[in-house]
Structure 1
């Protein structure tokens, strides 16, 4: 089912090739962005017809088109929201004031970003949990205006569950547009879709490429492309659980990346058998099967240390550690999110635990982590000088040493004020 490698270099080379940015994708994305810049809404409508095969009457969604009445799912959404909100409220940073020895007063403060655009994938299944994971941190941070773009279904409407969660979270600006054209619209602005200060949210490779392309115009959270899962396992791991976790990520789309690193050959063999067995009952078996065939891998390692070495080279979006000494391993690993133990499915974090499921992919976990409240806040400082004579002389000396005489002059002009 998945591709079993016996040579570490071959495995890493294959993964490296898959993570490279496609020139063809970049060219298409550039064409889309330039078209949106030049033609605005007309380009949005044309690309929606071309890629989604939908002829839209209106880019802005009809918020009254659907009302969720399933009390069971409403209750579940509410509890998941509370878990996410509680975790993100803990992340709110502190401000501080400080007085230097010369009397200079300085402060470190935070302000929320004014306008944020959130991309919500739709594709094969309604990712209503992604609405919760992206909107709630922005609301906790105090963002003034939240704009959502999500692709329309074949009937020309937004998925009703995505729409209902947007209503639940009191989002006013919802646009039925997806792909690179949605990213371009939020970055540049059109007649209908306002320009934002920052774009967040996961998406396919075209969305990820578009976010990179516009990052010189607006802020972006990260490159959140197709999902990734690495599992580190030893002889104590349960092959059925491993198979279930691999399936849970492979079913996202055909570009999903999954890798089992294991010290036990029998565990790899049994996991492969379990995947075949479990696939039969899944409505997503066709997507998951294609994902495994294209991007599913397993590798028999000589030790747990080798598992960690390979995993850290990849720096995956999700890392599941299903070993005896899992607690100590978490500090040695690089990943967007780590899941400990046989009893912790990755899906627990996708929906329920509270930490964000918008995570860095394509090795970005080497330098940034999961989406969080700080992504929606901007730090700034405030300074009130003391005009202390010794400080004036010291600052002037530093400026003159750098050859910036205007800097020195601006400070010396304050001499004699205290």
Structure 2
């Protein structure tokens, strides 16, 4: 891994603007085709991009049952326990509305309700992710979303992975479609003969999925524009090089564009981690992907003080931040910008990916400066409710009219004053 002295202004930001003009043009073309042709476009693009002709886009009950029957019982049990952990964590995010009543009988309130429907994208391609099913579906279920749709690209056999279908089975999801890429996003946004449109699209995907989500935003809501995976580790000389290297590679194996960063005060640890990364790469099944990520986006920064490492971590605002150092919890208290924080040597990042319960759909590309993990809140909407009694109107009519005229909106002023003649002529 590259080693550098820590300077100000370090960054891991990579904008979608870096996507090529050809990629953007392809996405726009796919969306337009889906709008015009519906299922025919989905079938054509699935054959073109995924290399398989799908006769029936929707996954049937028998296909789900067969996948579950083939799935290893112990893994099914593990997925079920992970789902329980995730549900427990997200249950704490339930929100209640409120009402505030004034002495004059007027009141203002906020009503919290679930969005009607959600479309959840589960990546396929180089890897299929049952964990993504759990992380996207469970917050929506806890929120009370009535219709949950799952889309995922099929494999060469024309089917979704057993793991994805087993996870969907555990959660009781039955509306599942074998379609991925920009075409799946377009179908969820605009609808086709087979797929009714939804109100919000969530879930990570490749650059085409990200661009498509950006294009349809406004027609539907989206969770975020997710970029390649990121991990940053803060470590001092009490940390173990082999553990840090393994954690860095756990994210590097996701994508050649993934980012792996170590922030340390120890030159010796930096050298040891660099050597360990090269050593562990040799036996990693996804070696080519991870090696590319490490070569292009793997950096070890050496800083003089822990104070400077903390500042750098907040500058980077990474998706995942691990802290392996003395007083790790105190350091964590000073982190303002991170998608998720993992404290101590036994809190390896994959624990958050699969089992701890916190959501693993996290802000990337330094957007943790202003955004958060996927949660129950993403599937809720808040409606303002206003009731003014006659007494409240009498007390405030003139004030409201004056404020309206201050902004040059005579119609607003007249609207609130229009009740006056009725009162005077009773």
Q: Which category of TM-score, normalised to the shorter sequence, fits these structures?
A: over 0.9
Q: Which stretch of the first structure deviates more once superposed, 277-286 or 346-355?
A: 277-286
Structure 2 residue aligned with 1:207: 209
Query: 1:205, 1:226 within 8 Å by CA — same for their partners in 2?
Result: no
Cα distance in structure 2, aligned partners of 1:7 and 1:42: 53
SS in 2 for 1:68: helix
Structure 1 residue aligned with 2:405: 400
- Select the residue among 9, 20, 35 that pairs with 1:23: 20
SS in 1 for 2:68: coil
Q: 1:67 to 1:55 in 2, by over 3 A?
A: closer
SS in 1 for 2:249: helix
- For 1:39-74, what per-residue CA distance to the aligned partner results, in whole angstroms no more than 9, with x for missing partners? 222222222122211121122223422242432122
Shift of 1:21: 3.0
- For 1:264-289, what per-residue CA distance to the aligned partner results, in whole angstroms no more than 9, with x for missing partners? 12112111222233334432223222
Query: 1:207, 1:225 within 8 Å by CA — same for their partners in 2?
Result: no
Where do 4+ consecutive residues of structure 1 move more than 4 Å?
Answer: 16-20
The answer to whether 1:123 aligns with 2:134 is: no
Cα RMSD, aligned residues only: 2.1
Q: Which stretch of the first structure deviates more once superposed, 174-183 or 402-411?
A: 402-411
Structure 2 residue aligned with 1:323: 325
SS in 2 for 1:297: strand
TM-score normalised by structure 2 residue count: 0.92
Q: 1:403 to 1:181 in 2, by over 3 A?
A: same
Q: 1:38 to 1:241 in 2, by over 3 A?
A: same
Count of residues in correspondence between the two structures: 415
Query: 1:203, 1:226 within 8 Å by CA — same for their partners in 2?
Result: no
Residues 170-181 of structure 1: matches in 2 within 5 Å? 170-181=172-183
Residues 206-285 of structure 1: matches in 2 within 5 Å? 206-285=208-287
Cα distance in structure 1, aligned partners of 2:47 and 2:146: 32
Query: 1:387, 1:414 within 8 Å by CA — same for their partners in 2?
Result: no
Query: 2:97, 2:112 within 8 Å by CA — same for their partners in 1?
Result: yes
Q: Which stretch of the first structure deviates more once superposed, 140-149 or 220-229?
A: 220-229
Residues 301-320 of structure 1: matches in 2 within 5 Å? 301-320=303-322
Structure 2 residue aligned with 1:355: 358
Structure 2 residue aligned with 1:52: 50
Query: 2:58, 2:178 within 8 Å by CA — same for their partners in 1?
Result: yes
Query: 2:68, 2:165 within 8 Å by CA — same for their partners in 1?
Result: no
SS in 2 for 1:108: strand
Instruction: Show structure 2 runs of 5+ residues with no match.
Output: none
Cα distance in structure 2, aligned partners of 1:135 and 1:349: 16
Cα distance in structure 1, aligned partners of 2:263 and 2:6: 12
Shift of 1:257: 1.4
SS in 2 for 1:354: coil
